[in-house]
Structure 1
Amino acid sequence: MTKARFITFEGTEGVGKTTAIDGFCRHLEDLGIAYVRTREPGGADVAEVIRQMLLSKDSVLHDDTELLLMFAARADHLHKTILPALDAGKWVVCDRFIDSTVAYQGFGRFGGDKQALARIELLIEQFVPCLPDVTLWLDLDVATGMMRAKSRSQADRFESLDTRFFDQVYQGLAHQFAKHPNRIRRVDASGSVEEVAVRIRQAVGV
Structure 2
Amino acid sequence: MGFPRDGLRAATAKSVPVLVTFEGIEAAGKSTLIEALAQDLGTRGEPVLVTREPGGTPLGDALRAIFLDPSRRVDPMAEVMLLNASRAQLVADVIAPALRTRTTVLCDRFFDATVAYQSFGRGLDVESVLEVCLVATQRIAPDLTFLIDIPVALSRERVRARGGADRLERENGQFHEQVRSGYLALAERFAKRYVVLDGTLPREALAAAAREHIEQRRNAALP
Matched with 1:197 is 207
Kindly provide the amino acid, as one letter, of the partner of residue 200 in structure 2.
S
Kindly provide the amino acid, as one letter, of the partner of residue 84 in structure 1.
P
Residues 1-206 of structure 1 correspond to what in structure 2 (within 5 A)? Answer: 5-110=18-123, 116-129=125-138, 130-205=140-215
CA deviation after TM superposition for structure 1 residue 127, in Å: 2.7
Unaligned stretches of 5+ residues in structure 2: 1-15, 219-223
User: Aligned partners of 1:10, 1:125: CA distance in 2, in Å?
Assistant: 17
Unaligned stretches of 5+ residues in structure 1: none
Q: Secondary structure at the match of 2:141?
A: coil
CA deviation after TM superposition for structure 1 residue 35, in Å: 1.0
User: Aligned partners of 1:98, 1:28: CA distance in 2, in Å?
Assistant: 24
CA deviation after TM superposition for structure 1 residue 4, in Å: 7.2
Deviations along 1:124-175, one digit per CA (max 9) or x if unpaired, are 3333222111000001111112111210131001111111110000011011
User: Aligned partners of 1:132, 1:6: CA distance in 2, in Å?
Assistant: 5
- How many residues are aligned here? 200
Kindly provide the amino acid, as one letter, of the partner of residue 49 in structure 2.
V
CA contact (8 A) 1:8 1:93 kept: yes
User: Aligned partners of 1:51, 1:86: CA distance in 2, in Å?
Assistant: 24
CA deviation after TM superposition for structure 1 residue 53, in Å: 0.5
User: Aligned partners of 2:35, 2:22: CA distance in 1, in Å?
Assistant: 12
Kindly provide the amino acid, as one letter, of the partner of residue 183 in structure 2.
L
User: Aligned partners of 1:33, 1:101: CA distance in 2, in Å?
Assistant: 30
User: Aligned partners of 1:128, 1:137: CA distance in 2, in Å?
Assistant: 20
Kindly provide the amino acid, as one letter, of the partner of residue 19 in structure 1.
T
Matched with 2:3 is none
Deviations along 1:82-106, one digit per CA (max 9) or x if unpaired, are 1011112211100000111110111
Spell out structure 1 runs of 4+ moving beyond 4 A.
none
User: Aligned partners of 2:70, 2:185: CA distance in 1, in Å?
Assistant: 28
% identical aligned pairs: 31
Distance 1:65 1:16, change over 3 A: same
Q: Secondary structure at the match of 1:43?
A: coil
TM-score (norm. length: structure 2): 0.86
CA contact (8 A) 1:4 1:86 kept: no
Kindly provide the amino acid, as one letter, of the partner of residue 49 in structure 1.
A
